[in-house]
Structure 1
Amino acid sequence: MDNSTSWLPRVQLLMQQNRPALAVDELRRQLTRDPHEPVAHTLLALCLLDLDQPTEAQQEAELAIHLAPEYDLAFYALALAQHRQHRSKEALAAVNQALALDPTDADYYHLLGSLRLESNQWQAALQATSTGLTFDAEHAGLHSLRARALARQGRGAEAAQAAHEALGYGAESSGVQAQAGWVALETNRSHEALGHFQEALRLNPESEYARAGLVEALKARYWIYRTFMRFMYWTNSLSAGLRQGLFLGAWVVARFVRPLLPLYLAFAYFSWFSDVLFESLLRFNRYGRYALSEAQRRHSNHFLLLLGVAAVAGGAALALPTVAGLPSLCFVALGLLFPLVGTERLGHQPTQQARSRWAGWALAACGVLSVVLKLAGIGGGFTNLLFMAFLLGTLAYTWIFALR
């Protein structure tokens, strides 16, 4: 064997055996001998992704592209790294370049379909999977992705069939089992979904995707959450314009048909707080408490703390009506629930999450300062202005978040 490529079979074997750390060591040794080897840089990027180091993986992929601008796998590795860092636009550009260089690779279509699915472009995701399957009809990931796209379009029977086909090709894959779980969940088969997620976690106990699905399946045991979830899946099958029109129309109708206003308000609050509310309930479930991540438990603690402050302040305001500031404290605690939950939901969009966090801190500053001044007996125009700024700011936050 040519000494210049003698390292490649060893690296490929380590990658097939799911031993990325050892593969990284081998690749780094090779790159000390030949730092201009694009294949080594590309494989190193893929191994670093397996080790959850997307920033370093991106650097290696970009270096490989610099060394070999026509190397399609390097663009695919770059797309994966960008995707892992929630940079959908950059990932889409990279995978499209990979497909331009090699339009027959099913894995590239799988990533393209995943990006389309995450952007709520169901038909585009379906088209990507269909094209990919023409090149590899037994690609389990593409069948799984096709099932998800069909489920999001409300085509439950076809989605179930596609998920069954995916399991026929990749039942021992944690990702395929998790995708089957999500398809079952989105087509109102929560008990079946639970089994798929449990199997996915058995195959890969570290799968965050399967763990998140398990939490959703456990929450779906509550009929009210299950009903709401079905409605949300239906609205997600609509275009962005139709969704906005639906919610704006419901608000207008509720404004003019007074008996519907309490129902609309209940729906609005539930759409904001259903996830964290039922995740908090899962903490009292013997299985659910272990399924929740540390971040979810921390988020639940913050939610319950604010809810508790609101309840205590509201009760104290009723018992001690002469104490100024208690009603305001109740409203501030309830109002801060919106940026708390909104910021948590934006975890996959770091830039928007940072903006949401700053908006939340600004609202908290206005609200808390107005309460402190009222409790200190310092009323007047400035205090009222602060409280009004908090109320209007919270209202603006909810509308901006809902219509983004």
Structure 2
Amino acid sequence: MNPHIQRAQMLFNRSRYADAERELGMALQVNPHEPWAYALLGACRAAQDDFAKADELGRQALALAPDSADIRHLVARIQLARNDLPAALKTATETIELDPHDAEHYATRASVYAQQKKWDLARADCDSALAIDPENVDALNVRSHARRAKGDMQTATAELRQALEVDPDDPYSHANLGWTYLQRGDLKQAETHFREALRLDPELEVARVGVLETLKAKVPVYRWILNYFLWMQTKAAGAQWGIVIGLYVLYRVLAGVAANNPSIAPFVAPFIVLYVLFAVATWFAKPLADAALLFHPFGRMALTGQEKREGLIVAAIVAVATTLVTISFVTGEPIYSACALFIGSPGLALAMSFKFTPREPRRIMQGVAAALACVSLILFLELFTPVWQILLPQQQHEGLITLLVKVMQFSLLGVLIGANLLGSREWRR
């Protein structure tokens, strides 16, 4: 192999991507048709989130060496990093067909299946990888993740311990073990392994998020919500959609039963209150907890600038809406509750947008939040100054206001359905 490529590989393994790219540039000067140089350049670009260029370089590498299983494997890893799961699955399967005797090839396809929440398929590929190489760290990590998703925490922990015996300095194994301990409720061990992962790789996002979640989980209420989040993450997108919308529909049914049957309303009311508290907590818990971490020395350092801004925005929305509801309760004036809804509805859409990492669904949800804010503003003005009554004939004015009121009435359900539909798609990075 070209010595420049050998040096580039070592630099890439140490996350020195700019230095690796310089070496690969020199390799291409020697041989402009070297497929490994293009493939490794693509991996460097993917590691720096330049996925469009990484994809282009991967295609160039495959065009130069279509029968190389190793090149195809590296391209599959690039596609996996981009979250282009259908392409990654296709390429990983082709890699196995070209070379069915390499454990890494099965481990990569197992990672794709894990991203798709196809835990049984992921575990089967891990078994195939470990049959070839019993010490394959990637396969041990993915299989432990699959076991954790199925609730087998003890075996998942044991397998990660085995992975760390093979490679004690693997940051992903430490981070994975941290998430396993976090799900088991052992916050001390979880924080220890997350911090070790960050010591080994300060840029490892899964460890940074993990240590933040561990700090938040020290509050018992958030720990319960986190367990719900972790449980939901093991479910396929369709199942998540069904659970969230199903709970909302159940809430509406119970509210209707209570309204139409005053005699049983006292028995139904506790369930309605519990659902409302649960829903508000799951919708706003993460950004509110991020805002609270601004008062924690390590948490403040670990939060990104974006997480800090999002936390403060949601905290402000919740504070204003809660204040208005409280005033309405104390004074008996429903106008304050209406104003709280005008703020809370677009606020929910905005909070939901913060759950998405890819730009496109974030922008869609933020567009919905902006539209609902416009509707809220019109209705708010209508409470004090019916400006549309001046601009429109009475019949059109009444029709417009009726329509906007219905939009607000169904906005919560619409936001939930929309957010879960967006979450069910596999968005490429």
Q: Flag the 1:123–1:182 CA change in 2: closer, same or farther, 3 A.
A: same
What secondary structure sits across from 1:336 in the alignment? helix
- The letter of the residue matching 1:201 is L
Distance in 1 (alpha carbons) for counterparts of 2:35 and 2:242: 50
Q: Flag the 1:240–1:80 CA change in 2: closer, same or farther, 3 A.
A: closer
TM-score with structure 1 length normalisation? 0.88
Aligned-residue CA RMSD in angstroms? 2.9
Structure 1 residue 24: Cα displacement: 1.1
Matched, 1:180 2:180: no
Structure 1 residue 203: Cα displacement: 1.2
Distance in 2 (alpha carbons) for counterparts of 1:113 and 1:78: 15
Matched, 1:165 2:162: yes
Matched, 1:328 2:334: no
What secondary structure sits across from 1:287 in the alignment? helix
Residues 223-261 of structure 1: per-residue CA shift (max 9 Å, x gap): 122223334444555666666665526853771561311
Matched, 1:362 2:371: yes
Question: Structure 1 vs Structure 2: percent identity of aligned residues?
Answer: 24
- The letter of the residue matching 1:252 is L
- The letter of the residue matching 1:391 is Q
Distance in 1 (alpha carbons) for counterparts of 2:317 and 2:20: 48
Distance in 1 (alpha carbons) for counterparts of 2:279 and 2:330: 29
Match of 1:342 among 337, 352, 355: 352
Q: Flag the 1:237–1:66 CA change in 2: closer, same or farther, 3 A.
A: closer
Counterpart for residue 277 of structure 2 = 266
Distance in 2 (alpha carbons) for counterparts of 1:85 and 1:7: 26
Q: Flag the 1:227–1:313 CA change in 2: closer, same or farther, 3 A.
A: closer
Residues 142-188 of structure 1: per-residue CA shift (max 9 Å, x gap): 21222111111011111111111111112212121111111111222
* 1:1-400 equivalences in 2 (<5 Å): 5-16=2-13, 18-237=15-234, 248=246, 251-252=249-250, 255=254, 256=257, 258-259=268-269, 260-314=271-325, 326-348=336-358, 350-378=359-387, 381=398, 382-400=400-418
Structure 1 residue 63: Cα displacement: 0.4
Residues 335-366 of structure 1: per-residue CA shift (max 9 Å, x gap): 12221121111224x44333323222222221
Residues 79-114 of structure 1: per-residue CA shift (max 9 Å, x gap): 232222332222222222222222233333333222
Q: Structure 2, unaligned stretches of length 5 or more?
A: 258-266, 390-396, 425-429
Q: Flag the 1:387–1:147 CA change in 2: closer, same or farther, 3 A.
A: same
Farther-moved stretch of structure 1 (255-264 vs 207-216)? 255-264
What secondary structure sits across from 1:172 in the alignment? coil
Residues 379-401 of structure 1: per-residue CA shift (max 9 Å, x gap): 76233532332332332222343
Distance in 2 (alpha carbons) for counterparts of 1:231 and 1:394: 21
Distance in 2 (alpha carbons) for counterparts of 1:301 and 1:80: 36
Structure 1 residue 274: Cα displacement: 2.0
Distance in 1 (alpha carbons) for counterparts of 2:53 and 2:242: 43
TM-score with structure 2 length normalisation? 0.83
- The letter of the residue matching 1:222 is V
- The letter of the residue matching 2:161 is H
Residues 24-48 of structure 1: per-residue CA shift (max 9 Å, x gap): 1121123234322212211222233
CA contact (8 A) 2:347 2:369 kept: no
Q: Flag the 1:110–1:369 CA change in 2: closer, same or farther, 3 A.
A: farther
Distance in 2 (alpha carbons) for counterparts of 1:331 and 1:311: 10
Distance in 2 (alpha carbons) for counterparts of 1:240 and 1:43: 33
Q: Structure 1, unaligned stretches of length 5 or more?
A: none
Distance in 2 (alpha carbons) for counterparts of 1:344 and 1:306: 14
Q: Between Structure 1 and Structure 2, how many residues are aligned?
A: 399
Q: Flag the 1:400–1:46 CA change in 2: closer, same or farther, 3 A.
A: closer
CA contact (8 A) 1:21 1:51 kept: no
Structure 1 residue 196: Cα displacement: 0.4
What secondary structure sits across from 1:166 in the alignment? helix
Q: Flag the 1:153–1:318 CA change in 2: closer, same or farther, 3 A.
A: closer
Structure 1 residue 317: Cα displacement: 5.7
What secondary structure sits across from 1:138 in the alignment? coil
Structure 1 residue 194: Cα displacement: 0.7
- The letter of the residue matching 2:354 is E
Distance in 2 (alpha carbons) for counterparts of 1:98 and 1:391: 52
Q: Flag the 1:283–1:112 CA change in 2: closer, same or farther, 3 A.
A: same
